[in-house]
Amino acid sequence: LGLSGPPGAGKSTFIECFGKMLTERKYKVSVLAVDPSSSTSGGSLLGDKTRMTELSRDMNAYIRPSPTSGTLGGVTRTTNEAILLCEGGGYNVVLVETVGVGQSEFAVADMVDMFILLLPPAGGDELQGIKRGIIEMADLVAINKADGDLIVPARRIQAEYVSAMKLLRKRSKVWRPQV
């Protein structure tokens, strides 16, 4: 599964909760988290592992943070090979968290079985803020943080994306992207 979304959408939190649910059901889960690299030093904070504290201690989970090292598309130059290695290593589920949202952060869509766009419910003009390219590639748009005071905004953005998705050309004859 490939996951992308804007900063603050809750990608790492979602992955930790989903990953823990899967490991509790006896799946082996691999997380390949891609972080942006500094244009100055080339380094990266690789903070995703620190945000997934429970999952990182789970014996049935493997978390590998990697810097983009200047690669465009939201993944690293070797993400596809890393997915294959994880599958070969016996991991039933491989979750790939991209750098984030932009016009070109959907290269992972061609590497995974399902590409999920995770969105927060209240970030301003959502349809203008998210680029068409990534929406066209999404197999599933998940509105995250849809509780408490954010239930109404979450339902509104869900309705907006359901309408917007109807205007896009279908990529598959058997699957219609869901929101």
At residue 92, the pLDDT reads 95
pLDDT at 101: 60
What's the pLDDT tens digit per position in 15-31? 999 999 999 999 999 99
pLDDT, tens digit (0-9, with 9 covering 90-100), for 123-140: 655 554 455 677 788 899
What DSSP string runs through 101-151?
-SSSTTGGGGTSS-EEEEE-S-SSSHHHHS-HHHHHH-SEEEE-S-SGGGH
User: Which of 9-13, 33-37, 88-92, 105-109 has the highest average model confidence (pLDDT)?
Assistant: 88-92
If one compares 48 and 166, the residue with the highest pLDDT of the two is 166
C-alpha 93/C-alpha 59 separation (Å) is 14
Question: Per mean pLDDT, which range of 27-41, 95-109, 113-127 is the poorest?
Answer: 95-109
What CATH fold (topology level) applies to the domain 1-34+48-104? Rossmann fold (3.40.50)
Q: Which token pair is 100?
A: 């984030």
For residues 48 and 32, give the distance between their C-alpha atoms in angstroms, rounded to a whole number. 10
Q: What are phi and psi of 53, to 5 degrees?
A: -65, -45
> Is this structure's pTM higher than 0.85?
no
pLDDT in tens, 70-82: 554 455 667 888 8
Distances (CA, A) of 18 to 15, 29, 94: 5, 10, 12
In the chain, where the domains are located: 1-34+48-104, 130-169
Q: Which amino acid is at 129?
A: G
